[in-house]
Amino acid sequence: MTNTFSFSSLNLSSDLLENLNSLGFLTMTPIQEAALPIILKGQDIIGEAKTGSGKTAAFGLGILSKLKIENNVLQSLVLCPTRELAEQVAEEIRRLARNTKNIKVLVICGGASEYQQINSLEHGVHIVVGTPGRVLKFLKKGAIDLKNLEILVLDEADRMLDMGFSLEMESISQFVPKLKQTLLFSATFPDEIESLSQIFQKNPERVKVESKHNANIIRQIFLDVGEQRQKLSVLIKLLALFKPQSSVIFCKTKQNCADVAKTLVKQGIAALAMHGDLDQNERTVVLTKFANKSCLVLVATDVAARGLDIKDLEAVINFDLPIDAEVYTHRIGRTARAGKDGVAYSLFVQAEKEKLLEIEKDQGSRGVYLELSELTNIGQFDLIAPNKTIYINCGKKDKIRPGDILGALVNEAQLDASSIGNITILTNQTYVAIASQFIEQAITKLNAGKIKGRKFKIGVA
């Protein structure tokens, strides 16, 4: 028996349906329910949905349902604003395709070897997920051929425009065949999105799902800090009182990010800044440390944080209120995922009162107001990360697998498996979370020993 909210009500293959069932995807999210029937009909679509809404699975299932596996050519292209998002999207598509053999998905982004990417393209791929800059470069070189393209996806389209990719997107449109399906997804809809749609799409159907957050899931708390210069002291008191073990603090500018992170570190709080001045390697290390619980507080700008899929985020803190209500909705939607509760704290000054009222009107509810007197004098405190992260100068190119790293840490470094956290293997580098008290033991013994019969350089990330 099927119902309209079940994936089984859609025209999907038995392989895809069985895999969805094994993944626990029993019913569709609102964006999937609204968008998938349109996508499966082959129509262009403009989808508006907040972060964590399930849109990746919506367009991923659309791509996989149309794929001709026996035809070893590029049939779908997904464009994303950042390397992190591209890798997450590719991983999600591979997960959705687990029951279907021989599907080739390739990530094409900066910060990785062009030679290896071109070599992979020459061997044939079905789906490319990439960033506009590197994809355009390969199109101009002739390394990417779109003549067999059937589906083009523009994911997080608003942030691609925010990050200055509008010219690249227009140039990419010159290489895209006219007879193709284009799926455009965005969390916010500035006027430029309409122009982008006109370039790539033909009579798209619009889908918008409710972007307000359930007040029972995300508690929204506002604090009047009085004056701008008091924000930092209020922020520290807030962290001291609630001690979130995983939080993102949003700032308007790169300078604010750097200043806030520096102040928090001096206070004994494991914090890192993420903003546009970081290169790709620095960004990768910051995000890996945050995922590894080597850093408990991430201080970020909206553009730098866009596209991050952060699991188990306990709190979002708006050090600076965002420009508009839609951005606020997008920010706080990063917490309370997968059925969990979350909290969003927002600091404001009187001059921002109008902006605050706009946010409450958009949310359809009034937030909770916390008096500064409730942030009692807390004295000295810290938020120390339980883990530290080591780097190992080896990666996928060395045919290294998580089991190789785990085996070396247990056997060579004599660590208990319970003291080892996330193992992240990249092309040329591997990062491993280790319980802080065992970090020196891990580095010393691994440097003296071998991994998979070979010696590699190891240190603190």
Q: What is the 3-state secondary structure (H, E, C) of 149-205?
A: CCEEEECCHHHHHHCCCHHHHHHHHCCCCCCCEEEEEECCCCHHHHHHHHHHCCCCE
Portion of the chain with pLDDT greater than 70, in percent: 93
Yes or no: domain 218-374 corresponds to CATH 3.40.1360.10? no
C-alpha 274/C-alpha 194 separation (Å) is 30
Please compute the mean of the pLDDT values over residues 179-199 and round it to a whole number. 89
Please compute the mean of the pLDDT values over residues 32-55 and round it to a whole number. 88
pLDDT of residue 2: 41
pLDDT of residue 24: 78
C-alpha 15/C-alpha 99 separation (Å) is 6
pLDDT of residue 1: 35
Q: Is 272 a residue whose pLDDT tops 80?
A: yes
Residue 220 φ/ψ region, left for φ over 0, alpha for ψ in the -120 to 50 degree band, beta for the rest:
beta
Phi, psi of 205 (to 5 degrees): -90, 135
The H or E element spanning position 218 is: strand 218-226
Yes or no: domain 7-208 corresponds to CATH 3.40.640.10? no
By the 8 A CB rule, do 74 and 126 touch? Answer: yes
Least confident range of 106-115, 229-238, 274-283: 274-283
pLDDT of residue 280: 75
Least confident range of 144-153, 373-382, 399-408: 373-382
C-alpha 212/C-alpha 329 separation (Å) is 7
C-alpha 459/C-alpha 461 separation (Å) is 6
- 281 vs 3, higher pLDDT: 281
pLDDT of residue 3: 45
pLDDT of residue 132: 95
Domain 387-460: give its CATH code. 3.30.70.330
pLDDT of residue 313: 85
pLDDT of residue 365: 79
Sequence length of the chain is 461
By the 8 A CB rule, do 239 and 296 touch? Answer: no
Please compute the mean of the pLDDT values over residues 439-449 and round it to a whole number. 93
pLDDT of residue 216: 54
Output helix, strand, coil percentages for the chain, rounded to the nearest 5. Answer: 40, 20, 40
Tell the burial category of 380 from Cβ atoms under 10 Å away from its Cβ (0-12, 13-18, 19+).
exposed
Q: Give every CB contact of residue 448 below 8 A, 6+ residues apart in sequence.
A: 412
Q: Where are the CATH 3.40.50.300 domain residues in the chain?
A: 7-208, 218-374
Q: Which strands form 368-369's sheet, in the order they lie side by side?
A: 271-274, 297-300, 247-250, 315-318, 342-349, 218-226, 368-369
Whole-angstrom CA distances from 17 to 29, 39, 183 are 15, 17, 22
Stated pTM of the model: 0.69
Please compute the mean of the pLDDT values over residues 383-397 and round it to a whole number. 92
**Reported confidence tier of residue 112, pLDDT bands at 50, 70, 90:** confident
C-alpha 246/C-alpha 242 separation (Å) is 11
pLDDT of residue 26: 73
C-alpha 190/C-alpha 459 separation (Å) is 45
Please compute the mean of the pLDDT values over residues 151-171 and round it to a whole number. 91
Task: Quote the mean pLDDT of the chain.
Answer: 88
pLDDT tens digits, one per residue of 289-320: 998 999 999 999 887 776 566 777 889 999 99
